[in-house]
Amino acid sequence: MHSASQQRRHINTILSYGGHQAMSKSYSPSHDIIGRSWQRCLTEYGLDPSQPRPARIVTHQTLREHQDSVDEFLNVARAGVEQLYTQVSSLGYVLLLSDHRGITVQFLGNKHDDELLHRAGLYLGADWSEQYAGTSAVGTCIQEQQALTCHRVDHFDSSHIGLTCTAAPIKDPSGQLLAVLDISALHSSRTPDSQNFALHLTQLYARLIEDAYFLRRYRHSLIFRCDKSRELVQVNGQLLFALDEQGDILAANSAARALLSQLNLHNQPRVSLPSLLECQWRDILSITYDSKDGTRAFRVSGTQQTLFGMLIEPTPNLMSKPATSQALTTQDEAVPALDCLAADDPAMRQTICLAKRLRDRNVSLLILGETGTGKEVLAQAIHASSQRGNNAFMAVNCAAIPESLIESELFGYAPGTFTGGRAKGAKGLIQQANGGTLFLDEIGDMPLHLQTRLLRVLAEGQVLPLGAVQPIDVDIRVLAATHCNIAQLIAAGRFREDLFYRLNGATLTLPALKARADKHYLIQTLLKRINPTVRLRADAMSALLAYEWPGNIRQLDNTLTFAEAICEADEITVHHLPEECMIHRRENPALLTLRQTAPEYVGASTLEADIQSPEQQALLDTLRHHRWNISAAAKQLNVSRPTVYRRMRQYKIVLPKDM
C-alpha cells in the first residue's frame, strides 16, 4: 500500500499540474488521455486533490435500478465476463463491469480480500464516474470512449495510487456506450508496461461481449459477417452487419461502423450492403449455397480492400418453442411433446431422437437418470406422442408402494379374494393400462417374486389377477425407469436378468441438470409454467445457472416456486432464491457478486437468541404452530402468503431444512 508521503507527493504533483500543466517539471501524466482527465477533474468537476474521497458504494435500490437498465445486456455478458475473470483472477485481478454512468453493475473478485476491495472501491455498486472518483480506468474510459490503463499515479485521487486498472468500452449496436469492462489489481509492478497484456485481453473480451450482444439483439435478422482473412471469418469475423430483407444495413458492430466511417457512409440513413461491396444482393444471399466453404470474397466499394463474407441465418421467432428444437426436427418430424423437453443439449438431443424413432415400436424402454431428472416426464411425452396417446398412461412407483400392496395394485384381484376387499374385485394397473402405457418407476425396487410375474405378463401378454384362475389378455407398452445401477442389482441377485433384457429394448438416458447445456431454457420454461407474468432478473439467472442442483429439475422447480411466491413486483432477483443456491457457489468467484446483494439469512430458522422484536417472535410462533405451513400461517395472521414470505425475509427466518 502507498504511504502518506507518497500520497502527499501525488497531491502536490496534481496541484502543480493544475497550475503549470505542460511546464510541470516534477511529473507529467503518462499519456494525453490521463492529462485531459486530470484537467477535467480540476476545472470541470472542481475536484480537490488534497481531499481524497472514500469509495462511494450506491444503495441496493440504486444498484438495482442500474442493473435493471442493462438487464438484457448482463444476461449476454455473463459468460464472457466469467471467462475473462478465470483468465486473470490468479494474477491478482478483480473484474468490474460498469454501466455507462460508471456504476459497477457486476463484480467478480476474491472474497478473501473483501474488506480491502470494498475500501478501494473495487466492489459491486461502486461509483467510478470521473465526476465522483476522478481519473480512473472506468471513469476516463467513459469520457474518452477508448480503452486505457490507469496505472497507479495516473489516478487523480491519491487514495487510488496503489491500484492498476485497465478498461475497455462496450458499445451497443447504434454505437452508444453501453458498459465498461475493467480488470483491476490492488498491487502491481511499478512499470505501466506491465499492463500491456491486460489492455489487450480486456479489449479482446470487450469486443467478444459487444459482438455477442449485437448477435443477440439482431438474432431475428440476417447477419453478414466478414473479415480480411478467409481462414478466420467463420470463427472470428471482425465485422458484423445486420441486414433487412432488401439488403440495407440495419446495424453494424464497432469494426463495421469504423469501415462505414472510413468511407464517409456512417451518417447516411440507409446504406445498402450490395452497393458497399460492389455486388448484387443475390451474390450475398447465395453465399451459403454457391461456395464450398460458405465464404465468398467481396471488394469494398472504391477501395482495393477485399473482405471475405459469410451469412448467419436469422433465428425464427418461435415464441414458446426452443430455437434449437428446429435442429431436432430437421431429420425427424416435429413432435411437440418430446421436442419441448429440451433445447440445445447434446445428451437430450440423442435421447429425444431415439425416443422419436421408438415411440411407436413395440419395444420396452428403460429410462435411466438420477432422481428428478424427468424420467416420468419423458415417459409421459413418449406415451402422448405415440399411437397409444389417446389411451391410458398408468404410472406406478415401485419404491413408494408398500411391498404387500404392489402385487394387488399391479395385477388386481378377483372377487372375494380379500376379506375387506371390494366384493367385485379390482382391476390392477396393468389391466387399466390396456391399450396404453404402463410406466414402472423405480423398477429396481420391485420385489423378486413380482419380477417373475411381471415377466410373464410381458412374455405372454396376459395378466392373472390375484385369486383368479383365468388370465386376461392385455395389450400394454411398458416403460420402466430407475436411478439404480441395474447391472449391480443383477450381480447381487436382486434383479432378474431375463426381466432386465425384456424391459431394456432400448435405454434412454437423462443427463443430470448440472450437466445440461440448456439450463437457461429449462429455467424459463418452468417459470412460465409457474407464473407466466413473472420475470427473472439477470443476477438470479446467473445464480441459478451456476448452482450444482443435486436434486435436478425437481429441485429447480421447487426453487422457482419458492422464489415466485416471495418475489415482489413480478420480478425474481437473487434475493428471492433460497440460501443453498448461494452456499454451493462459495468456491465460485461469481458468488461474490451475489452475496454482496443478498441479505444474510439465519441458518435453518431464527434462533431464540436472535429474536429482536415481538412481531418477529409472533411470526416465528405462528409458523411453528402451523408446522411451517405458510398458507395456514398467512390465514391466521390475516395477511397474504407473499407477505408472510416477505416478513420471513425481513426477520431473517427461513424454513427448516427438512420442510
Ligand X SMILES: Nc1ncnc2c1ncn2[C@@H]1O[C@H](COP(=O)(O)OP(=O)(O)OP(=O)(O)O)[C@@H](O)[C@H]1O
Interaction between residue 376 and ligand X (CB under 6 A): yes
One residue of 371, 629, 631, 636 binding ligand X per CB under 6 A? 371
Q: Which stretch binds ligand X (CB under 6 A): 197-205, 292-300, 522-530, 624-632?
A: 522-530
Task: Please give the single-letter amino acid code of residue 163.
Answer: L
Question: Least Å distance between CB 558 and ligand X?
Answer: 8
Spatial distance between the Cα atoms of 108 and 529, rounded to a whole number of angstroms: 32
CA dist., res. 24 & res. 233, Å (int): 49
Question: Of 182, 407, 557, 564, which lies in the binding site for ligand X, with binding defined by CB under 6 A?
Answer: 557
| Nearby residues of 107 by Cβ (< 8 Å), 6 or more positions away | 94, 95, 96, 97, 122, 123, 124, 126, 592, 593, 596
Query: Residue for cell digits 461502423?
Result: 257
Q: How far is the CB of 324 from ligand X (least distance, A)?
A: 14
| Binding status of residue 369 toward ligand X by CB under 6 A | yes
List 149, 373, 408, 588, residue binding ligand X (CB under 6 A): 373
Among residues 220, 59, 114, the alpha carbon closest in space to that of 597 is found at: 59
**β-sheet bridge partners, residue 311:** 224
Least distance between ligand X and beta carbon 353 (Å): 15
Closest residue to ligand X: CB criterion: 374
Please select the residue that binds ligand X; options are 67, 221, 525, 542, rule is CB under 6 A: 525
Q: Is 482 or 542 the residue whose CB approaches ligand X more closely?
A: 482
Q: 116-145 mask for ligand X (x: CB under 6 A)?
A: ------------------------------
Helix 538-546 crosses helix 552-566 at what angle (to 10 degrees)?
Answer: 150
Choosing from 60, 219, 483, 649, the residue that interacts with ligand X (CB under 6 A) is 483
User: What CA–CA distances, in Å, run from 112 to 94, 115, 359, 586, 589?
Assistant: 12, 8, 54, 11, 11
Which of 21, 33, 56 lies closest to 155 in space, CA to CA? Answer: 33
| Closest CB 396 distance from ligand X, rounded Å | 11
Site membership for ligand X, residue 246 (CB under 6 A): no
Nearest approach in angstroms of CB 397 to ligand X is: 7
Interface residue with ligand X among 47, 503, 553, 581 (CB under 6 A) is: 553
Nearer to ligand X, 522 or 538 (CB): 522
| Least Cβ distance, residue 528 to ligand X (angstroms) | 10
Under the binding rule (CB under 6 A), the answer on residue 511 touching ligand X is no
* Binding segment (CB under 6 A) for ligand X, from list 367-375, 403-411, 536-544, 597-605: 367-375
Tell me the β-bridge partners of 508: 367
State how far the Cα of 652 lies from the Cα of 320, in Å rounded to an integer.
37
Smallest distance, ligand X to C-beta of residue 531, A:
15
Q: Is residue 377 a contact point for ligand X (CB under 6 A)?
A: yes
Q: How far is the CB of 319 from ligand X (least distance, A)?
A: 17
Find out whether 503 and 480 touch, Cβ atoms under 8 Å: yes
Closest C-alpha among 193, 109, 105, 102 to residue 139:
102
> At what angle are helices 538-546 and 71-88 packed, to 10 degrees?
40
Q: Which is nearer to ligand X, 99 or 345 (CB)?
A: 345
Among 49, 169, 374, 412, interactor with ligand X by CB under 6 A: 374
> Which of 441, 518, 539, 564 touches ligand X by CB under 6 A?
441
Closest CA to 74 of 557, 522, 545, 585: 545
If the CB atoms of residues 49 and 374 are measured against ligand X, the closer one turns out to be: 374
Q: Is 479 in the site for ligand X (CB under 6 A)?
A: no
Closer to ligand X at the Cβ: 323 or 611? 323
Instruction: Say whether residue 526 binds ligand X (CB under 6 A).
Output: yes
Kindly write down the DSSP assignment for every residue of 463-488, as one continuous string: E--BT-SS-EE---EEEEEESS-HHH
Which residue, 60, 15, 61, is CA-closest to 38? 15
User: Residue 598: which of 16, 15, 60 has the closest Cα?
Assistant: 60
* Class of residue 532 by CB neighbours under 10 A (exposed 0-12, middle 13-18, buried 19+): exposed
CA atoms of 305 and 298, how far apart (whole Å): 8
Binders of ligand X among 171-210, rule CB under 6 A? Answer: none
610 binds ligand X (CB under 6 A): no
- Residue 339 near ligand X by CB under 6 A: no
The residue ranges that bind ligand X (CB under 6 A) are 341, 369, 371-377, 441, 483, 522, 525-526, 553-554, 557
